[in-house]
């Protein structure tokens, strides 16, 4: 299947600094695609090139067979929901949503029909005559969404769609926003620095750093099988351990690190003796007071600190070599008789499928 | 919170302490300019008002309120006011003052808006220099600068020669901007040029301040929704700069209505303005009650519409601008 939107080897050069560096992406129709990265990674520049506010220094952007290069922002079949919304402060909610339709020269009764439908879609029926400053942050966000969907764009761009909302509201809105976009069926590219936002909303994620795309994949794929140390470290929490590959068989391999020996339940493409990194997520490690019988996949350490998050607690262990190990334990019971506290010496252990072996 | 070793002031005790604190701080800052305005604006205005409504004695006006034989008499003379509205000269002078002030305001807006717009959108490094260029005329004497226009507009002057060369003077004479073709001085044209030139910075500065703080993403949003650059300017930038337009227009219009020096230097017989009438009443006719009446009516003419306008603005704000 040919991609609906394809970004082909796009470069954006800001006086010698490559904000976007040879990026290629294929995005399918109906997909919610997230560009994830920390600030300055080039994700916003890429989005602005899609919207037409910046022109690529080289490369092509093709939407549904049409090259966007020569198209002005106002003639592209693309609409954007801006960061902190950029609602027109002097216009009412109704006029904000109607703005794009009026520019199309749509007939008045049709505009009214469309705006009402949009207001209904975002559940703001009674707010048509309010001004943006009379709305809460969540309501403003919905007006912005309605405004960007009103023209039924072929591509919807979201710039940090939930960045201006507080945490509680953000979680509710993530699901609501995703449902609306899915129902409308519009193809969507969003930019975010918030990995939770990307993972809950997107069908696929592209992790960006320094103008390049490091990995593209479904949320679970990016989280569970990161391609590089950077991606493993950037998405979620991770323990990274450097070690030497000592055994490499088709069905398993062994990696020796300073504090432990890893027995990994699959082979890797490498040569024995090479240096590799092992990444293990904190929630895949278990704690016990007694030494596990198996000599592999265990490490002994002292609890240096613990962070209580309510549903889970993160223990920071100091291993014999001085390396730190983060272990996340779900708080399944309200009180435990044998609670592990700071200063205790404990064993950490994990299964043979917990690892990701990284060679780059 | 760690205890502060040295408290900024002793803890205040009760009402006395509070009054003391108020006197020391805020009220002095607010009170000084208010006191100044009270002494040198409000009091003189009341004196002028008194002049305009009392019978003139030999040297000073008679008291409005007189006490005698157990009777308190209040005598207010409004004859001067009747005279003003009955006399075509005054009415004409007021109307032409309003007219030329309005024309000047429009000219300043048309010239000042693009300037302020491009100044606000210029490179940040360039903006202080542009701002300085706007203020530079204030460094030389206002009189000199207005007088210089005489040299430019008189026969043989640069502007005069240019207009003659382009042949615009015939059209200008036909439209009433100048009296006879070829003569540009002491006409409505020279008056409006002088006033626009003088007051242009007062239009540019508030507009610039307003336009500079505009959120440019709103223009991107407008473009994103299909508005051309001109549409975005007209539908977003202009409405959002309304406060700047109003502020600039007031700063130009109000002083222009009462302007005396510029009409005196550059105006002519066609452009009698109320400032001139005021001067004549005070210093040629020595008719202080009449002069005071002219002054009071002038103030009312400006203040009353402004007050109504402000009230409307405030209500619009209440409703949610």
Looking at the structure, do residues A172 and A258 belong to the same domain, yes or no?
no
Q: Does B217 touch chain A (CB under 8 A)?
A: yes
Q: What residue in A sits closest to B243 (Cα-Cα)?
A: A90
- Please report whether residue B3 resides in a domain: no
How far apart, in whole angstroms, are the C-alpha atoms of residue B302 and residue B304? 6
- Please report whether residue B249 resides in a domain: yes
Q: What residue in B sits closest to A95 (Cα-Cα)?
A: B235
Residues 6+ apart with CB under 8 A from B7: none
The residue-averaged pLDDT of B65-92 equals 88
Contacts of B215 in chain A (CB under 8 A): 86
Work out the burial of residue A205: count CB atoms within 10 Å of its CB; fewer than 13 is exposed, 13-18 middle, 19 or more buried: buried
CB contact burial B284-297 (16+ within 10 A = b; e otherwise): eeeebbbbbbbbbb
Question: Within a 10 A sphere around the Cβ of B151, how many other Cβ atoms?
Answer: 13
Q: Contact A193/A38 with Cβ under 8 angstroms?
A: yes
* Count of domains for chain A: 2
Looking at the structure, do residues A267 and A223 belong to the same domain, yes or no?
no
How far apart, in whole angstroms, are the C-alpha atoms of residue A63 and residue A26? 10
How far apart, in whole angstroms, are the C-alpha atoms of residue B15 and residue B25? 15
Total-model pTM: 0.80
Task: Please tell me which of the candidates B218, B239, B321 has its beta carbon nearest to residue A86.
Answer: B218
The vertex-B278 CA angle with B276 and B284, nearest 5°, equals 85
Q: What residue in A sits closest to B219 (Cα-Cα)?
A: A86
Looking at the structure, do residues A62 and A180 belong to the same domain, yes or no?
yes
Confidence band of B6 (pLDDT split at 50, 70, 90): very low
- Please report whether residue B201 resides in a domain: yes
- What is the model's pLDDT at position B156? 86
Pairing of strands A298-308, A355-358: unpaired
Looking at the structure, do residues A26 and A13 belong to the same domain, yes or no?
yes
- Please report whether residue B125 resides in a domain: yes
Is the CB of B321 less than 8 angstroms away from the CB of A75?
Answer: no
Question: Within a 10 A sphere around the Cβ of A82, how many other Cβ atoms?
Answer: 22
Task: Tell me which residues of chain B, numbers 233 to 262, contact chain A at a CB-CB cutoff of 8 Å.
Answer: 235-236, 239-240, 242
Contacts of B226 in chain A (CB under 8 A): 74-75, 100, 103-104, 151
- Please report whether residue B150 resides in a domain: yes
How far apart, in whole angstroms, are the C-alpha atoms of residue B194 and residue B107? 11
Query: Which strand (E) or helix (H) includes residue A347?
Result: strand A345-350
How far apart, in whole angstroms, are the C-alpha atoms of residue A31 and residue A138? 24
Contacts of B227 in chain A (CB under 8 A): 74, 99, 103
β-partners of residue A315 are A306, A327
Q: Contact A259/A321 with Cβ under 8 angstroms?
A: yes
Task: Please tell me which of the candidates A51, A87, A133 has its beta carbon nearest to residue B224.
Answer: A51
For testing contact with chain A, the best of B226, B236, B244 (most A CBs within 10 A)? B226
Secondary structure (3-state) at B95: helix
Q: Which residue has the higher pLDDT, B313 or A203?
A: A203
Looking at the structure, do residues A62 and A161 belong to the same domain, yes or no?
yes
What is the CATH classification number for the domain harbouring A241? 2.40.50.100
- What is the model's pLDDT at position B13? 58
Q: Contact B238/B228 with Cβ under 8 angstroms?
A: no
The residue-averaged pLDDT of B253-268 equals 90
Last residue of a domain, one of A207, A232, A257: A232
Q: For residue B35, is pLDDT > 90? A: yes
What is the CATH classification number for the domain harbouring A204? 3.40.50.300
Last residue of a domain, one of A232, A256, A271: A232
Parent domain of A155: 5-232
Pick the closest to residue B209 from B278, B283, B127 (CA basis): B127
Q: Contact A187/A148 with Cβ under 8 angstroms?
A: no
- Please report whether residue B21 resides in a domain: no
**ipTM of this complex prediction, to 2 decimal places:** 0.82
- Residue A200: phi and psi, rounded to 5, are -75, -30
- What is the model's pLDDT at position B14? 65
Confidence band of A168 (pLDDT split at 50, 70, 90): confident
Looking at the structure, do residues A227 and A265 belong to the same domain, yes or no?
no
Residues B273-299 have pLDDT tens digits of 999 999 998 889 888 889 999 999 999
What is the greatest pairwise CA distance in chain B? 83
Q: For residue A195, is pLDDT > 70? A: yes
Last residue of a domain, one of A232, A251, A270: A232
> Picking from A208-222, A256-270, B90-104, which range would have the lowest pLDDT averaged per residue?
A256-270
Pick the closest to residue A198 from A230, A220, A224 (CA basis): A220
Contacts of B242 in chain A (CB under 8 A): 90
- What is the model's pLDDT at position A80? 94
Q: Does B224 touch chain A (CB under 8 A)?
A: yes
Pick the closest to residue A151 from A71, A203, A75 (CA basis): A75
Contacts of A79 in chain B (CB under 8 A): 224-225
Question: Within a 10 A sphere around the Cβ of A160, how many other Cβ atoms?
Answer: 20
For testing contact with chain B, the best of A53, A95, A97, A99 (most B CBs within 10 A)? A99
* Count of domains for chain B: 1
Q: For residue B7, is pLDDT > 50? A: no
The fraction of chain A above a pLDDT of 70, given in percent, is 100
Q: Contact B220/B150 with Cβ under 8 angstroms?
A: no
Confidence band of A337 (pLDDT split at 50, 70, 90): confident
- What is the model's pLDDT at position B22? 62
The residue-averaged pLDDT of B51-79 equals 83
Pairing of strands A355-358, A345-350: unpaired
Is the CB of A100 less than 8 angstroms away from the CB of B239?
Answer: no
What is the CATH classification number for the domain harbouring B279? 1.10.3720.10
Q: For residue B119, is pLDDT > 50? A: yes
- What is the model's pLDDT at position A270? 81
Q: For residue A63, is pLDDT > 90? A: yes
- What is the model's pLDDT at position B314? 80
Residues 6+ apart with CB under 8 A from A251: A265, A266, A267
Parent domain of B271: 89-320
Looking at the structure, do residues A339 and A255 belong to the same domain, yes or no?
yes
- Please report whether residue B294 resides in a domain: yes
For testing contact with chain B, the best of A52, A53, A54, A74 (most B CBs within 10 A)? A74
Is the CB of A53 less than 8 angstroms away from the CB of B227?
Answer: no
| Interface of chain A toward chain B, CB-CB under 8 angstroms | 51-53, 72-75, 78-80, 82-83, 86-90, 99-100, 103-104, 130-131, 133-134, 147-148, 151
- What is the model's pLDDT at position A165? 85
Q: For residue A292, is pLDDT > 50? A: yes
- Please report whether residue B8 resides in a domain: no
Looking at the structure, do residues A170 and A312 belong to the same domain, yes or no?
no
Confidence band of B205 (pLDDT split at 50, 70, 90): very high
Q: Does B218 touch chain A (CB under 8 A)?
A: yes
Q: What residue in B sits closest to A152 (Cα-Cα)?
A: B225
């Amino acid at each position: 299947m040919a991609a609906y939107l394809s970004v082909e080897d796009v470069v954006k050069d800001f006086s010698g600094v490559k904000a976007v560096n040879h990026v290629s992406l294929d995005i399918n129709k109906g997909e919610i695609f997230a560009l994830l990265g920390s600030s300055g990674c080039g994700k916003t520049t890429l989005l602005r090139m899609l919207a037409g506010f910046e022109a690529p220094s080289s490369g092509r952007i093709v939407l549904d067979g049409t090259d966007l290069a020569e198209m002005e922002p106002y003639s592209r079949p693309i609409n954007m929901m801006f960061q902190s919304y950029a609602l027109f402060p002097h216009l009412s909610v109704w006029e904000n949503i109607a703005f794009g339709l009026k520019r199309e020269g749509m007939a008045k009764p049709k505009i009214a029909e469309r705006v009402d439908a949009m207001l209904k879609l975002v559940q703001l029926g009674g707010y048509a005559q309010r001004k943006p400053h009379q709305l809460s942050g969540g309501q403003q966000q919905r007006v912005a969404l309605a405004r960007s969907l009103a023209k039924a764009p072929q591509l919807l761009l979201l710039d940090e769609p939930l960045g201006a909302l507080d945490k509680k509201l953000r979680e509710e809105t993530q699901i609501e926003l995703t449902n609306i976009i899915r129902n409308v069926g519009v193809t969507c590219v969003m930019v975010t620095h918030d990995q939770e936002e990307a993972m809950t909303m997107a069908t696929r994620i592209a992790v960006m750093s320094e103008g390049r795309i490091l990995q593209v994949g479904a949320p679970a794929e990016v989280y569970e099988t990161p391609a590089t140390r950077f991606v493993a470290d950037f998405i979620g929490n991770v323990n990274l351990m450097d070690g030497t590959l000592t055994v490499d068989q088709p069905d398993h391999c062994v990696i020796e690190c300073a504090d432990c020996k890893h027995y990994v339940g699959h082979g890797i493409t490498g040569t024995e003796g090479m240096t590799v990194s092992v990444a293990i997520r904190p929630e895949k490690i278990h704690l016990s007071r007694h030494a596990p019988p198996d000599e592999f996949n265990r490490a002994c350490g002292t609890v240096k600190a613990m962070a209580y998050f309510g549903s889970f607690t993160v223990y920071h262990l100091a291993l014999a070599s001085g390396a730190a190990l983060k272990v996340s334990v779900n708080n399944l019971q309200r009180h435990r008789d044998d609670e592990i506290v700071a200063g205790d010496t404990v064993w950490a252990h994990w299964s043979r499928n917990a690892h990701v072996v990284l060679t780059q | 919170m760690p205890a502060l070793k040295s408290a900024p002031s002793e803890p205040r005790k009760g009402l006395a302490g509070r009054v003391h604190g108020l006197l020391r701080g805020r009220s002095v800052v607010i009170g000084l300019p208010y006191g100044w305005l009270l002494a040198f604006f409000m009091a003189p205005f009341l004196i002028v008002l008194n002049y305009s409504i009392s019978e003139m004695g030999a040297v000073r006006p008679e008291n409005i309120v007189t006490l005698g034989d157990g009777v308190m008499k209040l005598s207010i003379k409004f004859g001067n006011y009747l005279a003003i509205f009955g006399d075509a000269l005054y009415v004409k002078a007021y109307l032409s003052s309003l007219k030329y002030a309005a024309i000047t305001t429009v000219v300043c807006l048309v010239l000042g808006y693009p300037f302020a717009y491009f100044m606000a959108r210029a490179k940040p490094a360039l903006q202080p220099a542009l701002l300085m260029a706007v203020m530079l005329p204030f460094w030389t004497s206002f009189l000199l600068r207005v007088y210089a226009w005489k040299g430019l507009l008189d026969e043989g002057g640069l502007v005069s020669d240019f207009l003659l060369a382009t042949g615009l003077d015939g059209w200008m004479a036909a439209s009433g901007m100048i009296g006879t073709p070829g003569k540009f001085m002491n006409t409505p044209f020279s008056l409006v040029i002088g006033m626009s030139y003088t007051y242009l910075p007062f239009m540019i500065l508030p507009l610039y301040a307003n336009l500079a703080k505009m959120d440019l993403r709103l223009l991107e949003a407008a473009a994103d929704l299909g508005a051309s650059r001109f549409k975005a300017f007209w539908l977003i930038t202009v409405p959002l700069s309304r406060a700047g337009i109003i502020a600039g227009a007031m700063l130009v219009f109000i002083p222009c209505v009462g302007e005396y020096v510029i009409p005196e230097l550059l105006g002519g017989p066609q452009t009698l303005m109320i400032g001139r009438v005021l001067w004549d009443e005070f210093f040629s006719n020595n008719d202080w009650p009449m002069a005071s009446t002219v002054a009071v009516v002038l103030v009312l003419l400006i203040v009353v519409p402004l007050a109504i306008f402000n009230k409307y603005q405030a209500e619009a704000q209440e409703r949610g601008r």
